Structure 1
Amino acid sequence: MTEEADDRFLDLRHEPDEPRRQFNRALRLRRLAKLERMGLAIEHAPGVWELSEHMEPTMREMGERGDIIRDMHKVLKADGMERDPLTFQIHDGPPETPIVGRVVDKYLSDELGENLTLVVDGIDGQTHHVAGIDPARVEDARIGSIVEIGPADTGQRPSDRSIAAIAEDGVYRPSRHLEQAKFEGRGPGGEYEEYVDAHVRRLEALRRAGIVERIDADHWRIPDDFESRAAAYDAGRNRQASVRVLSVFDLEKQIGADGATWLDRRLLSADASDLALAGFGQQVREAIDQRREHHIEQRDATRSRDGRIFYRRSLLVTLREREIARIGAEMAEGKGLPFRAATDGESVSGRFTGTAQLTSGKFAIVEKSHEFTLVPWRPVIDRQLGREVTGIVQGGSASWKIGRQNELSI
């Protein structure tokens, strides 16, 4: 139709009387009437139409969205799931509110392999299509994994708050920060210089962005709106959705697992208000019920006469320790090396030789010449594979130290 338009104007007043041309004219008039309802065409006089300059890109976008909907329906059907296309949500960017659900599709969004698209069957009863995701953030996620996709990370950094708090009369001094860090014991592992140097590196990045000014090595000029400008700078650079892999295992594997699962955390929270009564939300409700029965069978929970459920004290800790002990024993047979479980508060050191994915989470394998142990993994040690590392185990997590490079909240 656009090919017939003269500078976006289409004149259908004078058509030949032959039946085929009249039939085609009727079809075009019906099409134009639909475009008018969409705000993409205007009839200035009977048979004289003007097409919107946005018609082609709008129709192209609609075609692309139609392709996406068909692909979503196809992948869901292949997995034995039926979902109402009216529940499909196509996000043009990071979602405004967090989405929690099961990964049903994962594929590259561009030829360069720089971005991924995820299709997530949400606990909210909606099926979400989210493009432009950093592949590194979902490296562990596979089909069936439970993930949370949220807005782009735009929160203020702890380092920015520290810099603003230390600054006096709009001037930040690293030497002053070092004195205070030593006095308050804020340097992780006693590495106070490295702690302050990390703040200076942050200032160097913000200086290149024109936000702060370096007067000399010990004086930085900080604007009054420093924190808000620093947060805006991060937001401008990071327009990708934030992603957390809540469990690499699907619901079926979690129901009978001996570790601390995502289902357990849902079960103990006792809040099901965000679980829809249809779709994946209903499936999670059913899986939680089955997980509860599993705990009763394993004597990790009891049901009283009035129907109330009482769980073992420190259930998540017990489950995590139980799974670690089992996996450690299985790995010891293959390694020919004794396994020793790390205790809470213990400092563990050794060579980082790999990772193990448990239902309780991802763990780093740390080996010594005479034994090995499993320590909660964190991204900071990924580049240290094969090297010596030290970690302090605390409450199901670990604080890692690699040489002089400490993990800092920068």
Structure 2
Amino acid sequence: MIVRIAPRRAAVRDVDRTVATVAQGNRGRSSIDAHLRHDPSATQAFAEAHVRRLEMMRRAGIGIERDADGSWSIQADHLDRAIAYEMRALRDRPVEIETLSALPIAQLETADAATWLDREIGAAARLPVRDAGFGREVRSALDARRQWLVERELADVDGGKVRLRANAMMLLQRRELLVAGERLADELSKSFVEAKMGGAVEGRLTRRVDLASGRFALVEHSREFTLVPWRPVLERQIGKSVGGIMRAEGVNWRFGRDRSGPTIS
């Protein structure tokens, strides 16, 4: 497994400033409807992300109150409360640990999947890698991966640089999902169904599946199952019924018996 460890910072986030601004123009109240009125170009999922932030602060005992109608009472010192929440979180978790790949780097060079190496090749700003130790392994793997991509017409050489084609990542991820779906279909004796953009995802979340393209949630029906992008918030939902809508950025989840709670993007 390849992971990245970076120090965390305690700072007011844009989401906190937006909440404060919306509340200031709405008699100290914040809600999804108020956010959408404040910014007509905002999506429902974007507005609901602010609700998730407020819910996290409420559970941490920061003094955020939610009313029965789903709206929130926002105090004038909301940004001070937000930084207090961040400071508490920083004390409990001073570093961020991100899983870049569930597979060792040697297996990524020729993986028929959307790998961390591909994301690095296509990134506008790449991670600094030193020419020693593991850094040297990464440099070698990137060179091998570029050649592999060009040979399979998933990337082009442009002025001495290798550039991914526009649909390369989507194609690679879909290929791996189809192979993984076929393998799991034999194991589960159920049919694999691809999740479609804008389509509903319903069923029981049974486990997490680690692939070269990333982590995916296995959601089962009685006779079929699907694989959708994983989110850390799903850890507590394993074994439970879940539902959501497939979007470009992932699934907008709703949890609970009637799944009428806030959306988790």
- Pairwise TM-score range, normalised by the shorter structure: 0.7 to 0.9
% identity of equivalent residues: 32
C-alpha displacement of 1:378: 0.8
| Partner in structure 2 of residue 199 of structure 1 | 54
Q: Equivalents in 1 of 2:108, 2:226: separation in Å? A: 24
Structure 1 residue 294: deviation in Å? Answer: 1.9
Partner of 1:173: 29
Q: What corresponds to 1:227 in structure 2? A: 79
Larger RCO (CA within 8 A; separation ≥ 6): 2
- Classify 1:169/1:376 alpha carbon distance in 2 versus 1 (closer, same or farther; 3 Å): closer
* Closer/same/farther in 2, CA of residues 180 and 282 from structure 1, 3 Å limit: same
Q: CA deviation at 1:201?
A: 7.2
C-alpha change, 1:189 and 1:356, in structure 2 (3 Å) is: same
Q: 1:301 to 1:219 in 2, by over 3 A?
A: closer
Give 1:219 deviation, angstroms.
9.1
**Unpaired runs of at least 5, structure 2:** none
Change (3 A) 1:282 1:170: same
1:127 corresponds in structure 2 to none
Q: How does 1:103-252 map to 2 (within 5 A)?
A: 145-157=1-13, 160-168=16-24, 172-173=28-29, 177=31, 180-181=34-35, 183=37, 188=45, 199=54, 202=57, 205-207=61-63, 222-224=75-77, 226-239=78-91, 240=93, 241-252=95-106
Aligned to 1:266: 120
CA distance in 2, matches of 1:148, 1:320: 22
Quick one: structure 1 residues 189 and 368, their matched pair in 2 at CA, closer, same or farther if it must change by over 3 Å?
farther
Q: 1:295 to 1:165 in 2, by over 3 A?
A: same
Cα deviation digits, residues 145-183 of structure 1 (max 9, x gap): 222212224232455324311334996235xx4652474
What is the number of equivalent residue pairs in this alignment?
A: 253
What corresponds to 2:235 in structure 1?
382
Q: Which whole-Å deviations, capped at 9, do the CAs of 1:46-101 have from their partners, x for residues lacking one? A: xxxxxxxxxxxxxxxxxxxxxxxxxxxxxxxxxxxxxxxxxxxxxxxxxxxxxxxx
TM-score between the two structures when normalised by the length of structure 1 = 0.53
Distance between the aligned counterparts of 2:62 and 2:146, measured in 1?
Answer: 50
Q: Whole-Å Cα distance in 1 between the matches of residues 204 and 84 of structure 2?
A: 40
Instruction: Call closer, same or farther: CA 1:287–1:168 in 2, change over 3 Å.
Output: closer
Q: Matches of 2:14 and 2:139 in 1, distance apart?
A: 37
Secondary structure in 2 matching 1:256 = coil
When residues 374 and 146 of structure 1 are mapped into structure 2, their CA distance, relative to the original with a 3 A threshold, is same
Query: CA offset at residue 347 of structure 1?
Result: 2.0
2-side partners of 1:326 and 1:269: how far apart? 26
SS of the residue corresponding to residue 373 of structure 1 reads strand
Seen in structure 2, the aligned counterparts of structure 1 residues 262 and 178 have a Cα distance that, compared at 3 Å, is closer
User: Residues 260 and 360 of structure 1 are in contact (CA less than 8 Å); yes or no, is this contact kept in structure 2?
Assistant: yes
Q: Which of 1 and 2 has greater Rg? A: 1
The 5-angstrom pairing of residues 32-43 of structure 1 reads: none
- How high is the TM-score relative to the length of structure 2? 0.78
What RMSD over aligned residues (CA atoms) do the two structures have, in Å? 3.7
Return the alpha-carbon distance in structure 2 between the equivalents of residues 366 and 219 of structure 1: 32
User: CA offsets, 1:5-38, max 9 Å, x none?
Assistant: xxxxxxxxxxxxxxxxxxxxxxxxxxxxxxxxxx
Distance 1:189 1:154, change over 3 A: closer
- Please say if 1:366 is aligned against 2:219: yes
- Corresponding residue number in structure 2 for 1:405: 261
How far apart are the structure 1 equivalents of 2:125 and 2:22? 41
After superposing the two structures, state which structure 1 stretch, 339-348 or 390-399, moved more.
390-399
Distance 2:56 2:132 in 1: 49
Q: Which residue in the other structure is 1:300 paired with? A: 154
Is the CA contact (8 Å cut-off) linking 1:170 and 1:223 kept in structure 2?
no
Pair 263,219 (structure 1): closer, same or farther in 2 beyond 3 Å: closer
Q: Which runs of 5+ in 1 are unaligned?
A: 1-144
Distance 1:247 1:336 in 2: 28
Indicate whether 1:291 and 2:145 are aligned. yes
Between stretches 284-293 and 153-162, larger displacement belongs to 153-162
